[in-house]
Amino acid sequence: MKFIENFQPQLTIASPGRINLIGEHTDYNLGYVLPTAIANKIVFKLAKNNSKSQCNVYSVGYEGFSFDLNAVCKSASEWENYVLGVLSEILKLTNKVEGFDCIIESNLPLGAGLSSSAAMECGMAFGLNELFDLGLSKNTIVALSQRAEHNYVGTQCGIMDQFASVMSKEGHVILLDCKSLDYRHIPLDLQPYKIIMMNTKVSHNLATSAYNTRKRECEEGLTIIKTKWPKINSLRDVTLDMIEDAKDKLTQTVYNRCCYIINENNRVLEMAKALSEKKLKTVGKLLYEAHKGLSERYEVSCVESDFLVDFSKNYDGVLGARQVGGGFGGCVLHIVHENIATKYKQDCIEAYKKKFNLDLEVFEVKPTGGTHII
Ligand code: GLA
């Protein structure tokens, strides 16, 4: 693309990926989550190009593409839809955007459960907001980025990823209530333990049907619960007793999904308490329970993630482990004592290679701040 040669960015934005300590698939059930941004990020370099409506976007490692602001529509290429979806939502809110050039560069693994999609959407929205002085609040950036994912990418995702990407604070996790959007930053002090992520390299694709199917199954459960308790509007307000009461009207699958969500919601609140009291054993126990739920009741794990979690259970110095994100692979989070971290990583890499003939990608993460100007 021609503009790349002498490109002089006016603005550079860092948009981070995220981990989620606990609270998986609870966001679209309007429950609680406990995520934080991490240092792995997508960087956007942006400049106005003095045209009224011509936009050029180039992503290092991908092709570039151009579009006209007067003709924004879905593309056959998935990554282009992250950009176009955000533009489509922003253009509904303002007419202040004009032609721009953008170079995107990422060190955030794609499809690894670290929310590269939200990082793309929020970084683009945040950057355009700054470049054209659109006056959008952070909450608006989060919400429009989520709508971009729904309308252009096709995943009926909850609010967690976009919220974490924009609102995170260094050294903290966010306890977010996905119903009210009230949130609280909680210090994440796991000393002497570290958070080690292991990318299974088994790729999931959230746009495929499995994620949306889980959401529909939860809605099916809710519809049945509502026949007896009409005032309930989300699984977040359903108790295990209510599910037991309705059990004979639910399919086994829907029953399992609902039980998982209710238990997982409770685990988020228990985790927040355990962190503030620094009860690290409880932190680890909750992670293992969450993974068991993801694997057996919600059925979004895979043999590779289960293997890593099981491997960790026999290893002294590992507090807990579980798969993070939408599921079906991606990354497994481990909380590991600093004294054994190096050996543990090496042993996992070897065991995983032997079992699956795949190269595990291993890296440490720390809670960092949300989307910002560099
Ligand atoms: C994906 C979605 C989120 C959330 C997680 C599972 O990352 O984008 O909204 O539902 O899966 O917790």
177 is catalytic: no
User: Which amino acid, residue 146?
Assistant: Q
Taking residue 203's Cβ as centre, other Cβ atoms within 10 Å add up to 14
Mean per-residue pLDDT, 217-224: 98
Task: Among 19, 22, 27, 121, name the best residue to mutate to test ligand 1's pocket (greatest count of ligand atoms within 8 A of Cβ).
Answer: 27
Based on the number of CB atoms within 10 Å of its own CB, is 54 exposed (0-12), middle (13-18) or buried (19 or more)? middle
Distance 73 CA to ligand 1 centre (A): 25
Q: Whose CA is nearest to atom 9 of ligand 1?
A: 158
Q: Whose CA is nearest to atom 5 of ligand 1?
A: 326
Residue 3: pLDDT band with limits 50, 70, 90: confident
Atom of ligand 1 at shortest range from CA of 20? 12
Q: Is 50 exceeded by the pLDDT of residue 49?
A: yes
Taking residue 201's Cβ as centre, other Cβ atoms within 10 Å add up to 18
Helical H runs in 32-137?
Answer: 78-93, 116-131
Phi, psi of 362 (to 5 degrees): -120, 130
Distance 157 CA to ligand 1 centre (A): 6
The crossing angle, in degrees rounded to 10, of helices 252-276 and 209-228 is 90
In whole angstroms, what is the distance from residue 61 CA to residue 361 CA?
19
In whole angstroms, what is the distance from residue 229 CA to residue 205 CA?
35
Phi, psi of 33 (to 5 degrees): -140, 165
Distance 45 CA to ligand 1 centre (A): 27
In whole angstroms, what is the distance from residue 114 CA to residue 99 CA?
31
Q: Could you say which of 68, 161, 189, 241 is catalytic?
A: 161
Based on the number of CB atoms within 10 Å of its own CB, is 285 exposed (0-12), middle (13-18) or buried (19 or more)? middle
Q: Is 60 exceeded by the pLDDT of residue 147?
A: yes
Is there an atom of ligand 1 within 6 Å of 25 CB?
A: yes
Taking residue 136's Cβ as centre, other Cβ atoms within 10 Å add up to 20
Atom of ligand 1 at shortest range from CA of 33? 12
Which residue, chain included where needed, has tokens 């966010």? 174
Is there an atom of ligand 1 within 6 Å of 158 CB?
A: yes
Q: Whose CA is nearest to atom 11 of ligand 1?
A: 326
Atom of ligand 1 at shortest range from CA of 26? 12
Instruction: Dihedral sign for Cα 147, 148, 149, 152, please.
Output: positive
Using left for φ > 0, alpha for ψ between -120 and 50, and beta otherwise, residue 33 falls in beta
Q: Whose CA is nearest to atom 2 of ligand 1?
A: 157
Distance 175 CA to ligand 1 centre (A): 15
Distance 367 CA to ligand 1 centre (A): 18
Taking residue 50's Cβ as centre, other Cβ atoms within 10 Å add up to 9
Q: Is 50 exceeded by the pLDDT of residue 207?
A: no
Taking residue 266's Cβ as centre, other Cβ atoms within 10 Å add up to 16
Residue 208: pLDDT band with limits 50, 70, 90: low
Q: Whose CA is nearest to atom 1 of ligand 1?
A: 326
Q: Is 70 exceeded by the pLDDT of residue 155?
A: yes
Mean per-residue pLDDT, 143-170: 96
Is there an atom of ligand 1 within 6 Å of 115 CB?
A: yes
Reduce the DSSP state of residue 61 to 3 states and report it: coil
pLDDT in tens, 326-371: 999 999 999 999 999 999 999 999 999 999 999 999 999 999 999 9
